[in-house]
Amino acid sequence: QKEVEQNSGPLSVPEGAIASLNCTYSDRGSQSFFWYRQYSGKSPELIMSIYSNGDKEDGRFTAQLNKASQYVSLLIRDSQPSDSATYLCAVPPRSSNTGKLIFGQGTTLQVKP
Amino acid sequence: DTGVSQDPRHKITKRGQNVTFRCDPISEHNRLYWYRQTLGQGPEFLTYFQNEAQLEKSRLLSDRFSAERPKGSFSTLEIQRTEQGDSAMYLCASSPGFMINTEAFFGQGTRLTVV
């Protein structure tokens, strides 16, 4: 089992729809969870972080965390073509105190006008 | 200082040559990371510096790879005797050191092509 798993997609949604991106992780003791957005040929850009069970909202983005199920998701409301990118889920392993991140392979989102 | 800076942005080299990349982190960040990313994959951790001390290295980091962070400021990543399998995007990230799991901010990366 990979430490952080994402469906590679592509996930295709129409403009204005809700995009739902999912991530599962294997380390039950993980405490922090990050979502990065990466445009083609560019570097990852942090868009959301979540530390507690439940939902965290920031503009059109909502991160959801369920530690019991080892599941974190990212919802993008009113999806725009500019949201088309790869979304990376990242988790620092409990075994390390360095803050290094373990990334999933990313989910490619395509928002069609 | 607006972010993490990496140089060069692109590097094409012949197999067997040595290459060196530079990373300038956000000035108040004492944690610095190097990652490698290949097409279709998420970034993979290579090494970590706390100030000038290299505290963790991945098993991915073969003995052809060496990294330094003199004086706890900029960092360099050197690859000796490059191989085609080294072709990837090399990403540098930094974060403040007052908490373990604070957000890391990435530079634009150096794309290495070994021909």
The span from the CA of B91 to the CA of B46, in Å, is 10
Bridge partners, residue B4, by sequence: none
Provide the shortest C-alpha distance from residue A47 to chain B (in Å).
10
Q: pLDDT tens-digit profile of B38-94?
A: 999 999 999 999 999 999 999 888 899 999 999 889 999 999 999 999 999 999 999
Contacts of B107 in chain A (CB under 8 A): 43
CA distance A48 to A76: 11
Name the token pair of A82. Answer: 């500019």
Report yes or no: A31 and A12 within 8 Å, Cβ to Cβ: no
Q: Is the pLDDT of residue B1 over 60?
A: no
The residue in chain A having the minimum alpha-carbon distance to the alpha carbon of residue B96 is A99
| Interchain contact, B45 vs A102, CB within 8 Å | yes
Selecting from B33, B42, B89 the residue whose C-beta is nearest the C-beta of A88 gives B42
Residues on chain A touching B57 (C-beta within 8 angstroms) = none
Share of chain A above pLDDT 90, in %: 80
- Do residues A79 and A19 make contact, with C-beta atoms less than 8 angstroms apart? yes
- A 10 A CB-CB count for B11 gives 18
**In Å, how far is A68's CA from the nearest CA of chain B?**
20
Task: Name residue B53's beta-bridge partners.
Answer: B50
Residue A9 · residue A107 · CB < 8 Å: yes
Query: C-alpha dihedral over B64, B69, B70, B72, to 10 degrees?
Result: -170
Given a cut of 90, is residue A109 above it in pLDDT?
Answer: yes
Average pLDDT over residues B83-112: 89
Contact B96, B110 (CB under 8 A): no
- Which residues of A make CB contacts under 8 Å with B? 4, 8, 31-32, 34, 36, 42-46, 49, 51, 88, 90, 92, 96-106
CB atoms under 10 Å from CB of A32, counted, come to 19
Give the pLDDT score at A98: 84
Say if B28 is an interface residue toward chain A (CB within 8 Å). no
Please give the single-letter amino acid code of residue A93.
Answer: P
- What pLDDT score was predicted for residue B99? 62
The confidence score (pLDDT) of residue B37 equals 97
One-letter identity of residue A90: A
Asked if residue B33 lies in contact with residue B47, where contact means CB atoms within 8 angstroms, the answer is yes
The pLDDT assigned to B96 comes to 87
Beta bridge pairs of residue B91: B35
SS3 for A81? helix
A-chain CB neighbours of B105 within 8 Å are 46
DSSP labels, B58-111 = -TT--TTEEEE-GGGS-EEEEESS--GGG-EEEEEEEE-SSSTT---EE---EE
Which of the four pLDDT bands, split at 50, 70 and 90, describes residue B100?
Answer: low
Q: What is the pLDDT of residues A49-93, one digit of tens each?
A: 999 899 999 999 999 999 999 999 999 999 999 999 999 999 998
